[in-house]
Chains A and B, each alone.
Chain A
Amino acid sequence: MFARETITEDTWDDLETALITADFGPTITEEVIDSLRADVDRFRTDDPRDLQRMLRERLEERFAQYDPTLNLKERPAVVLVVGVNGVGKTTTIGKFAKFLTVRGQSVIVGAADTFRAAAVEQLATWAERGGASIIKPEREGQDPASVAFQTVAAAQQQGISMCLIDTAGRLQTKGGLMDELSKVRRVIEKQAPVSEVLLVLDATTGQNGVSQAEAFIEHAGVTGLVITKLDGSAKGGFVLAVQERTGLPIKLIGQGEGIDDLTGFTGHVFVQQLVG
């Protein structure tokens, strides 16, 4: 698209295609293209490379408005991980545990996904790989809030610095399950403040991501986003819409099934992958 000699209508068409295909959604795509057209007019350029640079700058600007730093100053720093089904919450916790232990922190994870079959075992395997201890429910179908409570209590007793709590996946439209999440948070807060509530979003998600974020903010007070499965062919452009609609920063990026495939978020790298 940027390899042409001059900027033509085809360039704009291609740009639109590229943005839509990257899941930016029709609204943001329109906005971006309109503002780029204005810029191109203003600077009187017809070099596609200028256009590419402006596009990158514009997107970076938009991402740079949010602070991607994790807030883990409390001791224990309680992190609640939430999201819809199958986005990679458990996997993210495993990788995040490793991420933290490598940086010299002690980590305990709480298996508060007491609903899905074998979720506890799955988390146990990840905890082991990540070098974290784990609090499991005492019986099947135990109230997730009580598991979360026990995990925070154990962290306090044993002087563990990081406390990660896994929750069951739930679609944002399920009122009862969303209320359950509010309860988990409430119960934890009786003991210790919650440092971060991370919403895990699957990069393959389309425009539904915004609806997910809004519902989870309302019920769980989300403080940051984790984007997973960015190693696939999906670009995850919808996160820009999510950020701008909700003001939530992206804090972590998941790029594979390996234990080390989790990194912090850097705007320009992300944009580079989005638009080249």
Chain B
Amino acid sequence: MSTGGTHEASGVLRGELQHTDSVYNLGRASACRLLGTIDSTMAAFGSLSSRLTETLAKLRTKGRLSASDVDGTVREIRRALLEADVSLDVVKDFTANVRERALGEEVSKALNPAQQVVQIVNDELVRILGQDQRRIEFAKQPPTVIMLAGLQGAGKTTLAGKLAKWLAGEGHTPLLVAADLQRPNAVNQLQVVGERAGAVVYAPEPGNGVGDPVKVAKAGVKLAQQRQHDVVIIDTAGRLGVDAELMKQAANIRKAVNPDEVLFVIDSMIGQDAVATAKAFQEGVDFTGVVLTKLDGDARGGAALSIRGVTGKPIMFASTGEGLDEFEPFHPDRMASRILDLGDILTLIEQAQKAFDEDEARASAEALMNDTYSLEDFLKQLQQMRKASNMKSLLSMFPGQSKQMKEAVENFDEAQLVRYEAIIQSMTPVERRQSKILNGSRRLRIAKGAGVTVTEINQFMKQFDGAAKQMRTMAKGGMPNMPGMAPMPGMHSSKKAKKGAPVKAKRSGNPAKRAQQEAAAAQAGQGKQGSSFGGGAFGGGQTADADEYNALTGDDQATLQKMLGNKQ
């Protein structure tokens, strides 16, 4: 990969990153599956993540960001944001900012240039989304009045119930006021929701076009004062931004009750219209905070960014389901990765860097290349893996997880790593370096020392030998094909489930294209895998991986290769 002395430093850096990548992937197969899932979900959008990773892969070998590098990445990010329904104006400002920062900034040693651009994008997203993060401000003189406003079908009435339940849980005594007198039976719905939430509902008018919402709202606040409710939640009718009359009505309600918070409730699936609507509501009722609803769907929720960008108002809550408990304070970082659809890859990279000692990583890679990979190297890697904190939580950071992956993560047995460590630690240094000398009596001693059975020792050794052999092949640039190898340590996932097609079935849409990609990936696999895999060496687990790796579709392999930094 690196061709000259000047590139050496970046070569080492790259090696390290690949190394960490593969450890976190805990077997390339899992990573393939993960990436495959991102890829297949993205397929509907012209495979954005794949295009982005392609752009990143091209940049990977460069040590410094040039203007055209940045432009390429920024272009993909622009597209990603537009696919995520971020408003065009906001996208333009945003990408201009990112570009400027990317060109101005010192090149970080920790990340390669492309990752750095993504990092900047992510930082910017979090910064914008998370600025002035705040909670509900309660009035010094109760009751605190909260008014809900938004388009039809955004989820105001359901949110009123959720908010009431949440507030009640925090020790408040909310009163729900039914001021949506427009939509048929909105009043009934609020009554039912209020009952479920265990909150009192004030509904003096039957609704369905009868009654004056301004009066109802005013009377509701008065009632709360009398009955000592410390919070009043006013549900209003849904209205379009362009409906001047209804907007005026909302403004009148606001004037009449002088709310402490006006929450603008908006559907996370909304498109470019988010801006027009948010502006209309800002002018109409001047909301103080935003609630994003229906985040349990698969919309990327770019509206969050648009609304922040246009109105500057904080996003306070996220609503994530139809149950009254499915409601939480807004997390800017989660939203940022959702919009970009890159998962917590950056967090992964960061944590990986912390956990891995560069020198040790290099030593292992060298050991592999020199055919001297021993149990000692494996032990070091095991310890690094454990140092990288909770494996499960790390694994769950991967973006776009499928059901199978979640299952696999769920079944991942961290204790297994500890057992392997114990086995190796029960060996003498000579045994660790030359595993060939392990005869029956030595194995029995080790088993006793590690508190396992001899059978387990035998299994472990078999796996290790297979893995070491396989990695040597890979380190030399070949693609080993070892069917029927033992499953990787700790990962008790059923490979069958994965092969049971949901992911593949989806991608079978275009057989011609797939065949083509498979062929391309196979070619790349034979040619240039060596260096990256060598760098990413880490013992035992690899046995099953190649098997699984080969079982993956060409797309998956190609995507993985890109993520691992192989030039295609």
Contact = CB atoms under 8 A, between A and B. Distances in A.
Tell whether A and B belong to one assembly: yes
Interface in B150-185: 151-155, 157, 182-185
A27 B185 contact: no
Contacts of A121: 184-185, 188
B193 interface: yes
Q: Which of B185, B242, B273, B276 has the most CB of A within 10 A?
A: B273
B79 interface: yes
Interface stretch (B96-104, B291-299, B381-389, B483-491): B291-299
B280 interface: yes
B273 A207 contact: no
Interface string B183-217: 11110110111001000000000001000000000
B189 A117 contact: yes
Interface in A255-275: 257
A87 B88 contact: no
A124 to B, nearest CB: 8
Contacts of B39: none
Interface string B17-55: 000000000000000000000000000111000000000
Nearest to B153: A86
| Contact residues of B: prevailing secondary structure | loop
Interface stretch (B59-67, B264-272, B442-450): B264-272
B185 A125 contact: yes
B240 A88 contact: no
Given A27-B46, A86-B154, A21 B189 contact: no
B154 A210 contact: no
A17 interface: yes
Interface stretch (A131-139, A156-164, A182-190, A229-237): A229-237
Interface stretch (A45-53, A58-66, A198-206): A198-206
B144 interface: no
Given A125-B184, A232-B273, A233-B241, A207 B84 contact: yes
A206 B153 contact: no
B451 to A, nearest CB: 43
Given A17-B88, A206-B269, A238-B271, A211 B298 contact: yes
B82 interface: yes
B182 A257 contact: yes
A166 interface: no
A118 B185 contact: yes
Contacts of B296: 171, 173-174
Contacts of A116: 189, 322
Contacts of B191: 118
Contact of A84 (B87, B184, B274, B297): B297
Contacts, number: 153
A206 B85 contact: yes
B56 to A, nearest CB: 19
B83 A207 contact: yes
Nearest to A88: B153
B297 A122 contact: no
B303 interface: yes
Contacts of B157: 117
Interface in A69-89: 84-88
A207 B157 CA distance: 25
Given A117-B189, A207-B45, A21 B88 contact: yes
A193 interface: no
A214 interface: yes
A122 B154 CA distance: 17
A168 to B, nearest CB: 9
A205 B84 CA distance: 11
A233 B240 contact: yes
Contact of B153 (A17, A21, A202, A214): A202
A23 B329 CA distance: 29
Interface in A221-261: 229, 231-235, 238, 245, 257
Contact of B272 (A22, A88, A174, A210): A22
A126 interface: yes
Contact of A20 (B82, B151, B208): B82
B302 interface: yes
Given A117-B188, A118-B189, A232-B273, 20 more contacts: A22-B272, A23-B271, A25-B83, A27-B45, A87-B153, A118-B192, A125-B208, A173-B296, A202-B267, A204-B151, A206-B85, A206-B271, A207-B45, A207-B83, A207-B84, A210-B44, A232-B240, A233-B241, A234-B271, A257-B182
21 contacts: A23-B85, A23-B272, A26-B79, A26-B83, A27-B46, A85-B155, A87-B153, A117-B189, A121-B188, A122-B183, A171-B298, A204-B151, A204-B271, A204-B273, A206-B271, A208-B299, A229-B153, A231-B242, A232-B243, A233-B241, A233-B276
Interface of A: 17, 20-23, 25-27, 84-88, 90, 94, 115-119, 121-122, 124-126, 171-174, 202-212, 214, 229, 231-235, 238, 245, 257
Interface of B: 44-46, 79, 82-85, 87-88, 151-155, 157, 182-186, 188-189, 191-193, 196, 208, 240-243, 267, 269-274, 276-277, 280, 294, 296-300, 302-303, 322
8 closest A-B pairs by CB: A206-B271, A86-B153, A206-B85, A117-B192, A118-B189, A234-B273, A125-B184, A118-B188
